A and B are shown apart, each in its own frame.
Chain A
Amino acid sequence: MRRLRVCVVFLQFAAVLLFAAAQPSAPGNYIGADVIVTAAPAYVPLAELRGQERFPKGAHLLRIHEGKAEPLVPEFAASADANVSFDGSRVIFSGKQKQEDFWQIWELTIKDRSLHKVVTTAGDAERPLYLPAGRVVYALRTSAGFRLDSNDDGHPLSYVPLNPTTGPGELTLAYTRGSAFPDDVLQDGRVLFESDFPLGDGRTAEMFLVYPDGSGVESYRCDHGLARWGGTQLTSSDVVFTHGAGIARFTSPLAHEVRVPAPPAQYAGSVAETSSGDWLLSTRTAQGAHYALKLWKPGVSTMETVFAQSAADLVEPVLLAPHRMPTRFPSGLHPWNYANLLALDARLSREGALPGMPTLVRLETQDEAGKAVTMGTAPVEKDGSFFIQVPGDKPIRIALLDAKGNVLRQEHGWFWSRGGEQRICVGCHTGPERSSDNHVPEVLLHSTTPVDLTAVRSMDLAHRAATGGR
């Protein structure tokens, strides 16, 4: 049965490739570079966030040169998710040499067409993106969905990295349950990834940021609503993404998204920006139709078809050209298995005033089964500050309690702190637009030692409150 499925998939691919070879559509030479695109008989948007296969009938990378498409790696049974190195000389991608293989991370050198496997994993590894300093980020399939991971890109640097977390070997970047899938690497060095909102617990696609050492995870913006996914950063630094059926953008001046007035269509995220500032998009007219490659000049009411196939979705276009390298992030993690979390004023939130005065903060983590486990509580000072030591590399969430132990507000989802991370929160869900006040948090005037909540304790809340929790 499995062989039959493989044969069917293979035949479908053959059809796609034959079709591609036979019917080149509109010339693409005005784009200024060759385009690499993933062609798939079926593309299932957001399947990655369910831990499922985005390309259930396989996929192949096509290189479109002057309107003609050729398989980029014909020797592979399947290939997808192209990402071009900063100097434009190499392409990293998800590939299967044989149909029954796992998706693995491979790299093609354009000049000599040499191939090498970048990362070997025991399961599917997909959607690789180059990071600066000889690293890559990708999604690793686990039993709980896709996990954000990082590894060497196979071209080790000549200098010693500043921190072992960015040094050789595999590093997990996301520590909540559920899927996390990389979208792009921003110019400021952070990894843009999609997951569900609330993080680790939700069902609505949303975009998040994390540093390449797994620290500093946060929502890109906090005007959560419709599903947002497939983000790409443009040269303007704006991030364009699919929002519902349309597209929208995040822009530095605003704390909320801005809808992009693009022609009505269904968009598949992952925009490629040409040197002239036009956008190369994957769109389709209706459910059931295939995604085609379109070129759109922002502000214009129509799009031009660059390439289309009647039997395949064309998604994740990238330009085979040099592009700006993001800033390398120097990890400053300490060699600890815990993290320190300082909240400056837990009373602050986009969700409005609390129904009472918080006196305690409760920390929870998840056990292996995903069940919430209380780690203990710590006092919240009158200015809303608290300072706690939390387990590193684990899903955590906090709740604010009043003096009677009633929950005043609880985080909707989960987040994590890397081991060795020292993190400051301006408030609880204040949004990225909120800068901190400048005063010494009261909690640090009392003690510079955080309340240790790294181990499950059954300390009586009243006792803890009476002793100040320190």
Chain B
Amino acid sequence: MMQTSRSRTFAVAAGVSGLVGAAVLWTGIWMAQPAGAVVTGRVGERLIYPSPLEMIRSGDGKQLFVLCNESDEVRVIDASTGAAVKTISVGHVPRGFALSPDGNRLFVTNSWDDTLSVIDTASLQVIATWRVGSEPSSVVEDRAGRTLFVANRISNDVAVLNAQTGAEIKRLAAGRGASYMALAPDGGKLYVTHVYPNPSPHRTEPESEITVIDAQRAVVIDRMQLHGIAGVFHVAISADGRLGAAAELHPKNLVPLAHLEHGGAFEDTLMLFGADVGNQTVEVPLDELERYVARPFGVVIAPDKSRLYITSGGSELVTVIDVPRLLRCVHLHHAPFVQDLSASANYVVTRIQVGRDPRGMLLSRDGRTLMVANRLDDTISVIDTQNDRVRSTIRLASPAKLSVLRYGEQTFYTARYSFQGQIGCANCHIDSTFDGLEWDLEPDGFGRDIVDNRLIEDLKGTEPFKWNGGNPNLPTECGPRTEKYFWRSANYDDLTLADLVTYMLSLPPRPNRWRLPGYELTSAQARGKAIFERTVDKFHNPIPLQNRCSYCHSGPKGTDQKSFDVGTKRPTDNSGLLDTPQLTNVALTAPYLHDGSAATVEQIWTVFNPEDKHGRTNDLTKDELNDLVEYLRTR
């Protein structure tokens, strides 16, 4: 049995109570009811909401393009009236887009299709669809209009394409989870950020990077190391090119999560770089002592570099920073001050409440108007930057009813339930996935039962949860135990919990990039499958039932939903009995084993399986293990 991403903790924990029972019962009742029958007003239909994620103004400034993440569209809006002009269908789960320098083409990355839609901005038609890397998340064209750069989240690289033909020229290795990019105003350097940390030794601080690419030569020229950072999101460069800023999460995953006060789980920070800060990276805090800006995401810098704006998805805020004051504070501090929660008072001007899960922003050319895409209420907040107030709110056409799934998603992405609004589910499950980190949770004992976070897609039929199998179902996982040991504050009511669980159970597996069409296997994958299913070892000795890969990792999701001792118990573990995790998209979820101690799938057998308790593997050659890995990647 393999303990892939074992934790099963989702930033939500385990437990049993009457509340949970009620939630489970209610879920069952609710699922059986006809749509619209629920007293909450939330409907059971699967409704499609636009979910605005990013915005771009057309070359002439007359139109606003809104990237709609859930409805797979680009909405075109009249920039002066807010009226809808046209809706353009694109690929599945579009995540990023960019306008060509001449304004004639709009490029859209379709993250689940691994394609790029090319839209003609005159006809507002998709004129081409090009294949790119795995999970393309953002795109930038160089100033000359010759080259396109596409950040691929799963293949951890930046694809370099011919901007006219879409032909891929090469791939540049980036960090893990390459997702967002910003081109310097002079077109010289391209900065790439990553939503997952790079691999690092077990139980050490996460490391991320900003990959710097020479946009003319299309080569990587620098990797700015971001020490202690797990997830980096939007990055912005000032108009004079002297200041860069990236929104990021600074986790405290190595410290027991005993309480949340004083930034006990995460700090929300900004990474500065560039000549204005001495060509080094300087991390600055965005939080306050009792108020947090959970999940910073979008960053824009005013054209005159007077202000810097950051969205916080969990807190539903835009933080406004006075850049000269920020730089003065940076220069006055000779030592890092990211742990000082009072530092932000030196440069934060105000915080503006906007809609649910605010993401990308768009600043007018004169810097007087800031638009904010509120993903989970289908609105765009229009902020007057002269007085830092929301001047108006544009409502995108969307279903009038609030569905259970949508409400569950809103609950998943908000931080409002946690103590002082510090964290939400999406802190550790970035874009409803995982965070690549191991956590030390308080109820198991300080330093004990270290748990690796896991992917939460395709959960139905994989119960129980938590790596020790302690939580029989999601209401238990996400209910009272979560409020006690994660939120440290009053949790959801029963109906909200039920909706959250419904949302989580609805998360589909993302497309498997290693599986051939028609479920055919490559020869290596087929050999690996044979090893996975074998009943005798290479010496013709029968393999005991429980020592066969396919015994524990059985069924369509690769789990028999039972617990076994596979010899991976650590001195700090309270039990060696481990629940069999599912294998869904196992290739994406490093590190492995329940505590994240295996950096790769192969290490599970070569380092952590000396006695063949975790399946009979010690008779296999390196090539055969590679075949097994190839097969597992198709799961």
Q: Report A's interface with B, CB cutoff 8 A.
A: 132, 159-160, 162-163, 188-189, 216, 218, 237, 252-256, 327-332, 334, 340, 342, 344, 387, 422-424, 426, 432-441, 444-445, 448, 450
Contacts and interface: CB of A to CB of B under 8 A. Distances in A.
Which residue among B205, B348, B440, B490 has the maximum number of chain A CB atoms within 10 Å of its CB?
B490
Given A160-B18, A255-B342, A330-B490, 17 more contacts: A189-B489, A253-B288, A255-B289, A328-B490, A330-B480, A330-B483, A330-B484, A332-B442, A332-B484, A342-B256, A342-B258, A387-B446, A432-B341, A435-B263, A435-B285, A436-B339, A441-B447
Contacts of B291: 237, 252-253
A334 B440 CA distance: 17
Contacts of B256: 342, 422, 424, 444
A163 B203 CA distance: 32
B340 interface: yes
B253 to A, nearest CB: 7
8 contacts: A216-B259, A255-B289, A332-B442, A432-B262, A436-B255, A437-B255, A441-B255, A448-B447
Contacts of B491: 330
A286 to B, nearest CB: 36
A438 B348 contact: no
B488 A330 contact: yes
Interface string B308-350: 0000000000000000000000000000001111101100100
B24 to A, nearest CB: 15
Contacts of A216: 259, 261
A434 B340 contact: yes
B445 A424 contact: no
Contacts of A445: 447
Which residue among B255, B483, B485 has the maximum number of chain A CB atoms within 10 Å of its CB?
B255
A342 B259 CA distance: 12
A438 B253 contact: yes
A440 B202 CA distance: 11
Contacts of A330: 480, 483-484, 487-491
Which residue among A163, A254, A256, A424 has the maximum number of chain B CB atoms within 10 Å of its CB?
A424
A96 B251 CA distance: 53
B250 interface: yes
Q: What's the dominant secondary structure at chain B's contact region?
A: loop
Given A188-B420, A432-B262, A438-B251, A448 B289 contact: no
Which residue among B17, B253, B261, B487 has the maximum number of chain A CB atoms within 10 Å of its CB?
B261
B423 to A, nearest CB: 14
A347 to B, nearest CB: 14
B252 A436 contact: yes
Q: What's the dominant secondary structure at chain A's contact region?
A: loop
A160 B17 contact: yes
B200 to A, nearest CB: 12
B524 interface: no
Interface string B443-479: 1011110000000000000000000000000000000
A252 B289 contact: yes
Contacts of A340: 446
Given A160-B18, A342-B446, A423-B258, A438 B228 contact: yes
Contacts of A423: 258-259
A256 B342 CA distance: 9
A57 to B, nearest CB: 39
A432 B264 contact: no
A434 B341 contact: yes
Nearest to A253: B345
A89 B484 CA distance: 30
A79 to B, nearest CB: 32
A160 B21 CA distance: 13
Given A433-B289, A448-B445, A438 B250 contact: yes
Contacts of A439: 204-205, 254-255
Contact of A424 (B18, B258, B485): B258
B290 interface: yes
Contacts of A327: 419, 489-490
Nearest to A238: B290
B447 to A, nearest CB: 3
Contacts of B588: none
Nearest to A439: B254
Given A189-B489, A330-B483, A448-B572, A253 B255 contact: no
Given A330-B490, A438-B228, A424 B341 contact: no
Nearest to B292: A252
B205 A329 contact: no
B435 interface: no
A373 to B, nearest CB: 26
Nearest to A426: B262
Nearest to A387: B446
B595 interface: no
A441 B254 CA distance: 8
Closest 8 CB pairs of A and B: A444-B447, A435-B263, A253-B345, A448-B447, A328-B490, A255-B342, A433-B342, A332-B484
A436 B256 CA distance: 11
A435 B255 contact: no
Nearest to B416: A327
Nearest to A256: B342
Contact of B203 (A255, A344, A422, A440): A440
A294 B484 CA distance: 42
Contacts of B255: 344, 424, 436-441
A439 B255 CA distance: 6
B290 A188 contact: yes
A422 B262 contact: no
Nearest to A423: B258
Which residue among B259, B480, B483 has the maximum number of chain A CB atoms within 10 Å of its CB?
B259
A424 B259 contact: yes
B606 to A, nearest CB: 25
B447 A440 contact: yes
B267 interface: yes
Interface string B368-395: 0000000000000000000000000000
